[in-house]
Amino acid sequence: MKTLKSMRLHIGIFGKTNVGKSSFLNRITNQEVSIVSDIAGTTTDVVEKSMELLPVGPVNFLDTAGINDSTALAEERIDKTMKIINRTDVAVIICDYNGIDDYEKDLIKKFDELKIPYLIVINKQDIKEITPQKYEEILKQVADEKILKTSAITDNEIVCRFKEKLVKLLPDEFVNSPKVAGDLIPPKSTVILVIPIDKEAPKGRIILPQVQTLRDLLDSDCLSYVVKESELEQALENLKEPPALVITDSQAFKTVSEIVPENVPLTSFSILFARLKGDLSAFEEGAKAIENLNDGDKVLILESCTHHAIEDDIGRVKIPNLLRKKTGKELVIENFAGHDFPEIADYKLIIHCGACMTNRREILSRIIKANEAGIPITNYGIAISYCLGILPRAIKIFK
């Protein structure tokens, strides 16, 4: 709730009176935010509701007053909603089994002009299904993937189905936050980066997530101090004041956490990237399922790309070993790689890769699909931290 309203994604809900705009909002937020009634024109002023729509992020819904007067001129009709349109990042146009007419078409035209992404929700499908002819009429305006047929009253999967469609429409700058760590601390802060140079470190270079973090801190006017864990104590002594943040490779977390005073925020590169390429809260929640794994339970290691498995491969060797050690159970651990989404019903847990070769949008879609199927999902960085017992301290700075 600390996110400023201006930083939230504004989702405007539009449509004629009585089509179920307020009912839709209430179902998505799972609250009686807006008054619902069968009297047309129930919502007279815009109703706003801020919430955390996981894993999408902080959003602000705008439930608008429906317009009934189909005789009014197009400009007049649009004028009434224009104030809300101007605040809308993503629009939801709701209609019912009667489909769309000039009113919705004018809205679509306006959204296209203003480059506002939108979704058409065909509501009240429990009362009457929209006819193929009327559906065709909508298809002339928008692609199939932007249409959601539902019932705000009886569709139990409405929230997941809406989020799945929404993630595909979200503006890029909202989905792919450009910040790795620079938003966690004020500009000019001192940050220590701990990069172990062991036999796993690539010869003569520093791996991409570490380089990206360093670049991000430079962009944020921070002062970065890069050391191995063996020089960390001396680095802390050299500083006049404690650093604002210490970021370490998760393999060295235990050693580093013993050196860094408890009052200095500490996290790992993999946690920063779990946030950048996924959703920390969803992954943290998913990791809790590790505790409940039993003999014979199936765990899916889901990777976004097919890469050559190396000897000590993280998804095939390291994480399976950590999981077995942590749980002490005989787990059945399977791997799946690629952009397709596999059948997941049999699994008790999904552990997603760090997603360095894909974007956050794909990972958010996968989180939603897993949620829909009721399967916990976490990722490499969070699962490793959880197994090593370092998760609570590593995510404290994000709380």
Q: Which residues in this chain contact ligand GTP in the complex, by CB under 6 A?
A: 15, 17-23, 36-38, 40-43, 65-66, 123-124, 126-127, 151-153
For residue 323, the surrounding DSSP H or E stretch is: helix 319-327
Return the residue of 304, 327, 378, 385 that touches ligand SF4, per CB under 6 A.
304
Cβ count within 10 A of residue 142: 18
Q: CB of residue 366 vs ligand SF4: minimum separation in angstroms? A: 12
Tell me the one-letter amino acid at 198: D
Instruction: Determine if 212 is a binding residue for ligand SF4 (CB under 6 A).
Output: no
Provide the 8-state DSSP code for 145. Answer: G
For residue 139, the surrounding DSSP H or E stretch is: helix 132-139
232 binds, among ligand GTP, Mg ion, ligand SF4, none (CB under 5 to 8 A by kind): none
Residue 301, phi then psi, degrees to nearest 5: -95, 115
Nearer to Mg ion, 45 or 340 (CB): 45
Instruction: Give 10's strand partners.
Output: 60
Binding mask 26-45 for Mg ion (x = CB under 5 A): ----------------xx--
| Binding span for ligand SF4 by CB under 6 A among 117-125, 172-180, 286-294, 354-362 | 354-362
Rounded Cα gap, residues 342 and 336, in angstroms: 8
7 three-class SS: helix
Rounded Cα gap, residues 221 and 262, in angstroms: 25
- What radius of gyration, in Å, describes the C-alpha atoms of the chain? 24
126 binds, among ligand SF4, Mg ion, ligand GTP, none (CB under 5 to 8 A by kind): ligand GTP
For residue 387, the surrounding DSSP H or E stretch is: helix 380-387
Nearer to Mg ion, 100 or 152 (CB): 152
28 binds, among ligand GTP, Mg ion, ligand SF4, none (CB under 5 to 8 A by kind): none
Q: CB of residue 309 vs ligand SF4: minimum separation in angstroms? A: 10
Q: Which residue is nearest to ligand GTP (CB)?
A: 66
First-to-last C-alpha distance (Å) of the chain: 12
Residue 243, phi then psi, degrees to nearest 5: -70, 160
Q: Which residue is nearest to ligand SF4 (CB)?
A: 353
Instruction: Determine if 378 is a binding residue for Mg ion (CB under 5 A).
Output: no
Q: CB of residue 95 vs ligand GTP: minimum separation in angstroms? A: 10
Among the listed residues 330, 327, 373, the one whose alpha carbon sits nearest the alpha carbon of residue 350: 373
Q: CB of residue 165 vs ligand SF4: minimum separation in angstroms? A: 25
Instruction: Determine if 355 is a binding residue for ligand SF4 (CB under 6 A).
Output: yes
Residues near Mg ion (CB under 5 A):
21-22, 42-43
